[in-house]
Amino acid sequence: MAIYFSFGIAPSMFPSTCTILRESITPEYVRGLPPGALIPALNPSHKATIAAMRERYGIDVPIPEKAPQVLLHTGDAVIVMGVVGLPRLQDRHEYTREEVENARFEFSLFAVM
């Protein structure tokens, strides 16, 4: 069983025919996973969002050199951190503390059954 960590999902991540269980989870659930349990499925261009996640929740997921292509199989899961309220970064490379504090972060687990 593999557990990926991403900021989004795409239909191409899932088998053509499968059942997907979606569950809301907490940041504590993610932090409670064993070290190295999460396989990063992040785009390295989202460094500022990754930094915001580390700052706000203490969740540390390695940043891959390039965005991986993920294909989930039965028993695999992907944890998705959705963010609402962070502005698009234009002409800068990081968020302010106030922007991070005012954003809403939601964690979901999508498991392939």
Q: Domains of the chain by range and CATH?
A: 3-112 (3.40.50.11170)
78, 72 contact by CB (below 8 A): yes
Q: Which residues pair with 83 in a beta bridge?
A: 105
What pTM value is reported for the model? 0.88
At 111, phi and psi to the nearest 5? -110, 135
Average pLDDT over residues 12-36: 96
H-only helix segments in 1-113: 27-31, 47-57, 97-102
Window from 10-19, 20-29, 38-47, 95-104 with minimum mean pLDDT? 95-104
Say what the pLDDT of residue 52 is.
87
Query: What pLDDT digit, counting tens, does each position of 55-106 carry?
Result: 889 998 988 999 899 999 999 999 999 988 887 777 767 888 888 888 889 9
How far, in Å, CA of 67 to CA of 92, rounded? Answer: 21
60, 99 contact by CB (below 8 A): no
Nearby residues of 100 by Cβ (< 8 Å), 6 or more positions away = 52, 55, 56, 86
Beta carbons within 10 angstroms of residue 92's beta carbon:
9
Query: What pLDDT digit, counting tens, does each position of 46-61 carry?
Result: 888 888 888 889 998 9
**Of residues 110 and 92, more confidently modeled:** 110
